[in-house]
Amino acid sequence: MLNRRNFLTAAAGVAAAAGLAACAKEDGSTTASSSGGGSKAITLGFSQVGSESGWRTANSDSVKSAAKEAGYTLKFSDAQQKQENQISAIRNYIAQKVDVIAFSPVVVTGWDAVLKEAKAAKIPVVLTDRSVETSDDSLFVTLVGSDFTDEGRRAAKILEKVLEKAGHKGPVKIAQLEGTTGAAPAIERAKGFKEVMDADHADDWKIVVSQTGDFTRAGGKQVMAAFLQSNPDIDVLFAHNDDMGIGAIQAIEAAGKKPGRDILIVTVDGVKDGFVAMSEGKINAIVECNPLLGPQLMDVVKKVHNGEKVERWIKTKESDFMQDQAKDALPTRKY
């Protein structure tokens, strides 16, 4: 896992080159000329996890628009939630001699070999959104993204407020919809939530069932339906993202229960559809995870390409929202 120390590191880029022939699904290249002095645009190779959720769509749009605004040549690939596709895309970026590689890793482990290839080619690597475990911290320059463990802690703390507002007394039976198995947000959100639960609610909170919904609405609906079959007396659902929570709402309603009342729901992300569900009383609270990383990423890419120092972990700023804030916040949602 990423070491969270705030140390500084530097990396230098190399000259950009053309075309990508990745095995992953490609959107094509976005090319923009840099301004002034006839200098060559920075070429950025970016491998995205996939398009599994509204958050991910907003994240991809932010990267694309920010690259265009910055005047970079963007090579973008969609890994369709498969690590082998990302590794293939990164190797193609290395072969094409892009200036900088950025990617949001599908899972935490299994990256050493390809990152060593990038290092040998003197192409700096920037992680976005998610962290990785490596044998050598120098295999990537920095991470631009959220503190997922803290998001899990915040979800537990806001659940305290939700339970108090709902007037819930006695033991709390919790169902957990996990993100993709092996993915950093799934591991760390679960860890942070459990930290608070174990420290402050060891006697009254219990996770009675927990399973991956793969960050998708379809997965959330399917798994929640199974949860309700095996544990019909669930009090709370903690979903690792809004999309799984929205899918779970469909299963809860199909079972004749009222989401947000019969089963209290806390999710993570803060996409617009999540706020709509919250404004309808179906989600009780949302912990924000900001997907609009594009501008921060392009600033980091420029610094890395120029050999400037950057922080090891560049965190995004986020907020928490409860149901009574939903209608006011909904018109301002950017994603």
Q: How confident is residue 42, by pLDDT bands cut at 50, 70 and 90?
A: very high
Q: Which residues, in sequence order, are CB contacts of 169 under 8 Å at separation 6+?
A: none
81: left (phi over 0), alpha (psi -120 to 50) or beta: left
Residue 82 has pLDDT above 60, yes or no: yes
Q: What value does the mean pLDDT take over residues 212-229?
A: 98
Residue owning tokens 């179906």: 282
Do residues 76 and 19 make contact, with C-beta atoms less than 8 angstroms apart? no
Residue owning tokens 């009383």: 281
Residue owning tokens 């999540």: 274
Say whether 244 sits in a helix, a strand or coil: helix
pLDDT, greater one: 325 or 7: 325
pLDDT for 62 equals 97
pLDDT for 9 equals 34
Q: Which residues, in sequence order, are CB contacts of 149 under 8 Å at separation 6+?
A: 188, 189, 191, 192, 195
Q: What value does the mean pLDDT take over residues 158-162?
A: 98
d(C-alpha 201, C-alpha 218), whole Å: 31
The size of the chain, in residues, is 335
pLDDT for 17 equals 30
Q: What value does the mean pLDDT take over residues 152-160?
A: 98
Side chain identity at 92, as an amino acid letter? N
Q: How confident is residue 262, by pLDDT bands cut at 50, 70 and 90?
A: very high
pTM: 0.86
pLDDT for 14 equals 29
Residue 39 has pLDDT above 70, yes or no: no
Q: Which residues, in sequence order, are CB contacts of 299 under 8 Å at separation 6+?
A: none
Say whether 21 sits in a helix, a strand or coil: coil
pLDDT for 120 equals 98
pLDDT for 29 equals 54
Residue 243 has pLDDT above 90, yes or no: yes
Do residues 259 and 253 make contact, with C-beta atoms less than 8 angstroms apart? yes
Q: 78, 71, 83: which is closest to 41 by C-alpha?
A: 71
